[in-house]
A = this chain, B = another copy of it.
Amino acid sequence: MLQISPIFLRKFSKPLEPASVETILAEPVPAAPKDPGTLGQQMHEMMATLYPFCRSITGAGTIQTLNILKKYIPLAIHKIPSGIRAFDWTVPKEWNINDAYIKNSRGVKIVDFANSNLHVLNYSVPVHRQVTLEELKRHLHTLPEHPDWIPYRTSYYKEDWGFCISYNEYLKLDEEVYEVCIDSTLKDGHLAYGELYIRGETTDEVLISTHICHPSLCNDNLSGICVTTFLAHWLLQRKNRYSYRFIFIPGTIGAITWLSINDMKVSRIKHGLVAALLGMEGKYHYKKSRRGDTEVDRVVEAVLSRSGQPFDITEFIPYGYDERQFCSPGFNLPVGSLTRTPYGQYPEYHTSADNLQFVTPAALESSLDMYSEVIKMLELNRKYTNINPKCEPNLGRRGLYSLVGNDAEHKDRQLAILWVLSLCDGTNSLLDISKRSGMSFDSISKAAEKLVECRLLVEM
């Protein structure tokens, strides 16, 4: 089990105000403050609140989700009308659903949307009629290799209706007449997404994006939503060098719409991460940006390397989450994706087994910690210039070159100072210096801090 770092807990000076289903139902919030638990437990609790909503790329479930997020962070909710052009795409009609079921000939509901929103093919058009078993089967989706699990299926861009059921239930179906009912609507409305901008010292931005279009599925991607929310909460309390932009968007069409609206502003994005799949205790996985050698690629690699946790790093491929859009050749943004076990590489992926039991507080907390470590290194990884570049400065005079003291730690401190002075010629970041010197980023970073204090370095 992962250790919850006490240092990390201390970073969160203000206690988080956890939202709950009760809040949504307008019930009174319990008056007595109780122990909020670890950050992992808090994220898991938040996830439990969000779990029931029937999210999709449009519709009420997404709005409900964003409204819960507003309890944690000052999110702006943007609504883009159906029919708006976004590059080669068009914002689709809004989909909403009230109820859905299959009744057998005796009028018994054998499949009920109220039990699991995965039962309905996401974006199903409305239907209400009698069907034979044969016709019904053409609209059923199952998972024979996991006969107890309900698969998750969508049909966003082709009008269709369908039900997803466990293979065991499927096998029980008799030759009779069924009543199928999907009480959904598909009409002009909006595509909604959430955005939070946290102003820093500079207008250079770090983009954190996560997809919000999946219904009752926890690892993919309530885990991404919760970790990202908590990360934003933490950044809101820090004084940051970079400005941070968090976007909570429907996959593909959401990212495309957002890029289309923000085309003129994306040049401010200096680093970015697509956050997803962060609740499962698998090893970390980083997929590099299309450029493959950007600062965020190098920083994530350094953070994973020093974390002591197992991880994989892979080159960019044009398949995956919304890094596909951010890294499309016309943008080619420095955006990678930091997840744990990648999509499709664990059996519970896109099934009812990706539930609240599948994700753990400890995994969520470790993921949050990893993201915060990446951000801390990005914040610290500046480029400085030695303003006394000809010969070494007289360090002894400044108390930086101790005339006594011969222990290893002391020597390391001095060597770090010499490396920083030697390589701060405006071309090397502190991470570059850490790599070339073979010294830890922390040592190099502390040396730079000391030299800035002594006015021997200035930031480029």
Q: Which residues does A use to contact B, with CB under 8 Å?
A: 86-89, 155, 157-158, 252, 255-256, 259-260, 263, 290, 317-319, 324-325, 327-332, 386, 388-394, 396-397, 403, 415, 418-419, 421-425, 437
Query: Are A425 and B389 CB-contacts (below 8 A) given A394-B89, A396-B157, A403-B155?
Result: no
Complexed CA–CA distance, A286 and B105 (Å): 74
Contact B263 A390 (CB under 8 A): yes
Chain B, residue nearest A437 (CB): B317
Contact A87 B388 (CB under 8 A): yes
Complexed CA–CA distance, A437 and B316 (Å): 9
* A211 → B minimal CB distance (Å): 15
What are 25 of the A-B contact pairs (CB < 8 Å)? A87-B390, A87-B391, A87-B393, A88-B394, A157-B403, A252-B392, A260-B390, A263-B390, A318-B415, A318-B419, A318-B422, A319-B415, A319-B418, A324-B418, A325-B391, A328-B389, A328-B390, A328-B391, A328-B422, A329-B386, A329-B389, A330-B389, A330-B390, A331-B390, A331-B391
Complexed CA–CA distance, A87 and B394 (Å): 9
- Within 8 Å by CB of A330, from B88, B256, B260, B391, lies B391
Contact A329 B424 (CB under 8 A): yes
Chain B, residue nearest A421 (CB): B318
Complexed CA–CA distance, A392 and B326 (Å): 10
Contact A255 B391 (CB under 8 A): yes
Decide if the interface of chain A is mainly helix, strand, loop or mixed. Answer: loop
* A447 → B minimal CB distance (Å): 11
Contact B422 A327 (CB under 8 A): yes
Residues of B within 8 A of A328 (CB): 389-392, 421-422
Residues of B within 8 A of A332 (CB): 425
Complexed CA–CA distance, A87 and B393 (Å): 8
Residues of B within 8 A of A422 (CB): 290, 318, 327-329
Contact A425 B394 (CB under 8 A): no
Residues of B within 8 A of A260 (CB): 390-391
Residues of B within 8 A of A252 (CB): 392
Residues of B within 8 A of A330 (CB): 386, 388-391
Residues of B within 8 A of A424 (CB): 329
Contact B318 A88 (CB under 8 A): no
Known interface pairs A252-B392, A328-B421; 4 further A-B residue pairs with C-beta atoms within 8 A, sorted by A's residue number: A158-B396, A259-B390, A260-B390, A330-B386
Query: Are A403 and B318 CB-contacts (below 8 A) given A331-B390, A390-B263, A391-B330?
Result: no
Residues of B within 8 A of A419 (CB): 317-318
Chain B, residue nearest A266 (CB): B390
Residues of B within 8 A of A290 (CB): 422
Complexed CA–CA distance, A425 and B88 (Å): 17
- Within 8 Å by CB of A423, from B329, B388, B418, B437, lies B329
Residues of B within 8 A of A319 (CB): 415, 418
Chain B, residue nearest A316 (CB): B422
Residues of B within 8 A of A89 (CB): 391, 394
Interface-central residue, A386, A397, A422, by most chain B CB under 10 Å: A422
